Amino acid sequence: MTAFRPLNPRGAFVPSSPLGTPERAFAPMSPARAATFTAGFNVRAAAAFPAPVAREAAPKVERAPAVEIAPRVEAAPAPVATAQPEKPLAVHAAMQEAEATIAAFAERERVRAEEHAQILADLELQKAKTKANNERLGQLAGELVRMREAMVAEVREHVGAMLLLGARRLAGESLRGEPGLLEALVRHTVDGLGGGAVVVRVNPADAERLTGVLGDDVRVVGDTSIHAGCIAQGEHGTIEATVDVAAGSLLAEVQAWKRTA
């Protein structure tokens, strides 16, 4: 669209380019032509830009008197507690509970281990005491056995000595108290030699009683070493029938009894 610049001094418009550069000026217009051109332009401008239409005045509305309204004072909002995330709290609580459970379990295990160690220590101590008691009992049993054996040996020794002494006394007193018993013992001993000349030795206290009683082939001789009984010597050997010999036989029996008992 070609823009028009203001009228030149002669009353004609000078067109210009869109860039505002003056074009070649038209030929000068006459006053009548310029007035016609201006009137047409004004008509076209009026059609493009109509004049404002007058509006009717709006009826006046009376307003009610203003009422003063007290300003509304709103209370400050109550502070809202900021909610913490539930998941971290739950995890923390679970961790605390787990730690407490582990600590309680460790404490129970520690107490249990101490009790177990104490029980083992008590058992070891009891075993040591039992072993010591058994050893002591074994020693006492051995000592009792040895004491018993010693007492038995001593008792047997005394019993054997008393038996021998009693036997010798009994035999001697019997032979001395009973003259016929000694005479019968001498005759039995002489007969054991098978006859012939025989020498009989007896206690001197018994020689007088036996002289001339046993026959012409028997000679009675007193011997102080003979306590009781007699010793007969003949052609075929010697027979000892004294109390000491009998006591010796009894002593052998007593010794055998002491060894086997």
pLDDT for 258: 64
Q: How far apart are CA 128 and CA 85, in angstroms?
A: 64
What is the full DSSP assignment across the chain? --EEEEE-TTS-EEEE-TTS-B-PPPPPPPHHHHHHHHHHHHHHHHHHSPPPPPPPPPPP-PPPPP---PPP-PPPPPPPPPPPPHHHHHHHHHHHHHHHHHHHHHHHHHHHHHHHHHHHHHHHHHHHHHHHHHHHHHHHHHHHHHHHHHHHHHHHHHHHHHHHHHHHHHHHHHHHH-HHHHHHHHHHHHHHTTSS-EEEEE-HHHHHHHTTTS-TTEEEEE-TT-SSEEEEEETTEEEEEEHHHHHHHHHHHHHHHHHH-
The rounded distance, in Å, linking the Cα atoms of 209 and 17 is: 212
Q: What is the predicted pLDDT for the residue at 85? A: 53
183 and 210 Cβ atoms separated by less than 8 Å: yes
Radius of gyration of the chain from Cα atoms? 85
Strands 198-202 and 237-242: unpaired
Q: pTM higher than 0.75, yes or no?
A: no
Please tell me the predicted confidence (pLDDT) of residue 183. Answer: 73
Q: What's residue 112's pLDDT? A: 92
Cα 59 to its chain centre, rounded Å, is: 111
Q: What is the pLDDT of residue 104?
A: 92
- Contact at 8 Å (CB) between 234 and 214? no
Cβ-based neighbours of 2, under 8 Å, separated by 6 or more: 15, 16, 17, 18
**pLDDT for res 113:** 93
Task: Write down the pLDDT at residue 201.
Answer: 83
232 strand-pairing partners: 200, 239
Pairing relation of β-strands 218-222 and 229-234? unpaired
| Fold for the domain defined by 149-260 | hypothetical protein PF0899 fold (3.30.2320)
User: How many other C-beta atoms can be found within 10 angstroms of the C-beta atom of residue 226?
Assistant: 22
Sequential pLDDT tens for the chain (261 residues): 444 445 454 544 445 444 444 444 445 556 666 666 666 666 565 666 555 555 555 555 555 555 555 556 565 555 555 555 555 788 888 898 899 999 999 999 999 999 999 999 999 999 999 999 999 988 898 888 888 888 877 777 777 666 666 666 655 555 565 666 777 777 777 777 777 788 888 778 777 777 776 777 778 888 887 777 778 887 777 877 776 666 666 666 666 766 665
